[in-house]
Amino acid sequence: MAEEETHLEEGPLPVFKWDHGLFEQITRGFRFPPEWDAQYPRQGQIAADAPPGYITLFEDFFLQGNFRLPGTEFMAHILHYYGFHISQMSPHGMVRVRHFEFLCRSHGIEPTVERFMVFYQLIRNMGFYSFGNRGSAKKILLNPPKSFHDWKQKFFFIREEVISIAMIFREPDAMRKKSLLSPRQLTGI
């Protein structure tokens, strides 16, 4: 399939940095059923323009973060506990959540938020949420990706039912309240 280029004349909105062909590869390759109604954004739409009943997901969640749909129960627990919407997560955050889940499952351990918090703490960078190493905790992701080029411009919309919980958009000040507690206070470990 020929690569489609999308150009924007002039104005405040960035040019899309990915094409419709790659979007179709993702929907086919990850076997999105028609009822999920994945939608490539129209020219001029931004990630915050998800229609009612839809959420925004980023291409790098799938290609770099090993994210799969429908979302796992562990992912739902992370989103619920930290109280942010999946479209507010950066690909760096997705990589850490999925890597942790893979490690736990490969060792026959059920991944939980409490276990996750031993290694990671919530951080906010440029309006998106991620997870950074917690203090002196042992690093479990030794070679994380350094950067995700133009990731904010590579998004699509999909039915919100692909994630099993109702998600809310988190206000930046809410992060401060949760981060004041240590993992020991939260988990009793």
Tell me how crowded residue 77 is: count the other CB atoms within 10 A of its CB: 17
Q: Give pLDDT tens digits for 42-57.
A: 988 999 999 999 999 9
Buried b (16+ CB within 10 A) or exposed e, 94-123: bbbbbebbeebeeeeeebeeebbbbbbbbb
pLDDT at residue 180 in the model? 43
Structure confidence by residue, pLDDT tens digits, 133-152:
998 777 877 777 777 778 99
pLDDT at position 16, please? 56
Q: What's the confidence (pLDDT) of residue 173?
A: 61
Query: How close are the terminal C-alpha atoms of the chain, in Å?
Result: 54
Say how far residue 76 (Cα) sits from the centre of its chain.
11
Strands 120-125 and 54-58: unpaired
**Beta carbons of 100 and 140 less than 8 angstroms apart:** yes
pTM for the model: 0.79
So what's the pLDDT on residue 72? 95
Q: Per-domain residue ranges for the chain?
A: 58-157+164-187
**What are the 10-residue block averages of pLDDT along the chain, 189 residues in total?**
38 59 94 97 91 95 93 95 95 95 97 96 92 85 76 94 85 54 45
Structure confidence at residue 5 (pLDDT): 37
